[in-house]
Structure 1
Amino acid sequence: MTKDNKFLTQFQNDAESIGFIFMKTYSSWHTNIKKCLKKQLITHPQFIVLASLAYLSQYPDEITQVILSNKTNIDVMTISQILENLEKKDYIKRSCSIKDSRAKSIQLTQKGLDKANETVPLVEQIDKEFFAALKDEKQKFMEMLSTLLKNHDEEIA
């Protein structure tokens, strides 16, 4: 590489880049999650949607793709594809919305609830082990992540 091809970064090494460290940390955590869920024959995005649907199903309100999209921060088109795959596995069923004829109402099947109840504790255990290194700082870390998410969501809106 010649001097004209200088890499334009403000950092002396990658350990100084918060984005790079965040990405590596996320990647490490995500790899653990994916390995676990692969054994359960479900992808991480499918798990997120299934777990969110199980959570939302505890309440009487109708659940639509838009509601799932807002809950998970996954775009509506991607939610639609994930739901299609979950429906093929008989984890969910879709029907016409009572409130909006253009929307689909999403219901969890018993098989879907069973899969959620089987996988959620596994993922929660991975989270517990992965974030245990934070010790007493875990709550502060959660608050910091929530702050970042809130600020980012406001930028998008």
Structure 2
Amino acid sequence: MKQLDFNSIYKNDSQQSTGLLFIRAYHKWHGLIKSQLKTIDLTHPQFVLLTTLAALLRQQEWVSQTDIARFSDMDVMTV
């Protein structure tokens, strides 16, 4: 099998790749968040919705599904 050339400035040291470091940090953070939210029986999307609602209610009297979707960058039908 022919080995493909990995065209990257990090091809000789992938451990220094910004993308790889970011995804590792993200997965660590997401795992910690999920484990903490599990103790209160919430999923991460539910947490995002609730915190978004709380933030918006500090700014305006009424909050719609569309407001939450726009603020949290989520699909309206997911909210």
Same fold (TM over 0.5): yes
Distance 1:22 1:65, change over 3 A: same
Alignment match, 1:32? 32
Aligned: 1:21 with 2:21: yes
1:69-113 deviation digits (Å, cap 9, x = unpaired): 12111222222xxxxxxxxxxxxxxxxxxxxxxxxxxxxxxxxxx
Q: Please list, as runs of the form range in 1=range in 2, the aligned pairs for 1:44-63 lying within 5 A after superposition.
A: 44-63=44-63
- Higher helix fraction: Structure 1 or Structure 2? 1
Identical aligned residues as a percent: 31
Q: Distance in 2 between matches of 1:55 and 1:39?
A: 23
Distance 1:78 1:13, change over 3 A: farther
TM-score under structure 2 length normalisation: 0.80
Return 5+ residue gaps in structure 1 as ranges.
80-157
Q: Count residues with an aligned counterpart.
A: 77
Alignment match, 2:73? 73
Q: Please list, as runs of the form range in 1=range in 2, the aligned pairs for 1:8-157 lying within 5 A after superposition.
A: 8-10=6-8, 11=10, 12-79=12-79
SS at match of 1:5: coil
Q: Distance in 1 between matches of 2:75 and 2:18?
A: 26
TM-score under structure 1 length normalisation: 0.44
Distance 1:39 1:6, change over 3 A: same
1:35-91 deviation digits (Å, cap 9, x = unpaired): 000010000110011011012122333211221112111222222xxxxxxxxxxxx
Distance 1:7 1:40, change over 3 A: farther
- Higher strand fraction: Structure 1 or Structure 2? 1
